[in-house]
Homo-oligomer: A and B are copies of this chain.
Amino acid sequence: MASKTPVGFIGLGNMGNPMAKNLVKHGYPVIAYDVFPEACKEFQDLGAQVTESPADVAERADRIITMLPSSPNVREVYTGANGILKKVKKGSLLIDSSTIDPAVSKELAKAVEKMGAVFMDAPVSGGVGAARAGNLTFMVGGVEQEFNAAKELLTCMGSNVIYCGEVGTGQAAKICNNMLLAISMIGTAETMNLGIRLGLDPKLLAKILNMSSGRCWSSDTYNPVPGVMEGVPSANNYQGGFGTTLMAKDLGLAQISATNSMTPVPLGSQAHQIYRMMCAKGYALKDFSAVFQFLREEETL
């Protein structure tokens, strides 16, 4: 174990914290950084080396994982005044697990390549629970020859590591899945609501959909209607799960990618607008299946 070379980890938030801990568990010496020093403290106690900046991390580790909230944070961590690129070593492997605009991933990959290092995008699916359990899914984009090196680290944190293609395709796969998920979830919510108003029992309707061509993950695994399934957010007042705010963010990325590639996404863009409106109507922190509740509210005078 002691022979393992250190791994840098930047961004120790809700997701990064359990991910980095899984690296520690697998015996990797971790070189940690977070913009909030208190986030690092726990890792100091676990024996990790805590640093002052992304540049410091790059100086001490030639494999670095970043897990940050959004594109501007990732840009800053890479290209900022004390960013990774200031001290990155030739041949380093830089893996970004943040969910960001694939165009930004490509832009950073070019900058990294100029320094003689390698960049891969590897966003995850699965939430905090999967991060803790170490069974995230990683969708990986980048040079294929480096995929095995990345996979070695990522399998410490995930049970499923999929090679998607060139840089940016990991992000693309993630935002595509989440866009279709949002569309199916809103579709399931409005369909269930319509059926109920037309006199159908919700459990029966779900059963019919699930044995028919309307079947989808949102109807058969994560049904948004309270009382239809157990163990899902709709059974628990839409707590836990995947927050509406995060879904709105991912749909914003899909929208930007679609706009830039001139791709028509009529339902994806409408789904984006609906989650946007929900965020402003008190649903920001509820699970995204709460769109059923949002649409369900009765008209009253």
Contact = CB atoms under 8 A, between A and B. Distances in A.
Given A164-B200, A187-B183, A194-B176, A266 B273 contact: yes
Interface string A259-281: 11111111111111110110111
A104 interface: no
Interface residues of A, number: 88
Interface in A95-142: 102, 125, 137, 139
Nearest to A204: B164
Contacts of A137: 212
A285 B281 CA distance: 18
A258 B179 CA distance: 18
Contact of A191 (B102, B176, B197, B270): B176
Interface in A231-268: 245, 248, 252, 254-268
A22 interface: no
A257 to B, nearest CB: 6
A279 B267 contact: no
A2 interface: no
B213 A177 contact: yes
A66 interface: no
Contact of A258 (B194, B205, B261, B262): B194
A232 to B, nearest CB: 12
A196 to B, nearest CB: 9
19 contacts: A162-B208, A165-B201, A173-B205, A176-B214, A181-B212, A183-B191, A184-B214, A184-B216, A186-B267, A187-B187, A190-B264, A190-B267, A194-B257, A194-B268, A216-B217, A245-B301, A252-B259, A266-B274, A277-B277
Interface of A: 102, 125, 137, 139, 160, 162, 164-166, 168-169, 172-173, 176-181, 183-184, 186-188, 190-195, 197-201, 204-205, 208-209, 211-219, 221-222, 245, 248, 252, 254-274, 276-277, 279-281, 284-285, 294-295, 297-301
Chain A to chain B: the 3 pairs with minimum beta-carbon distance, closest first: A216-B216, A183-B187, A180-B214
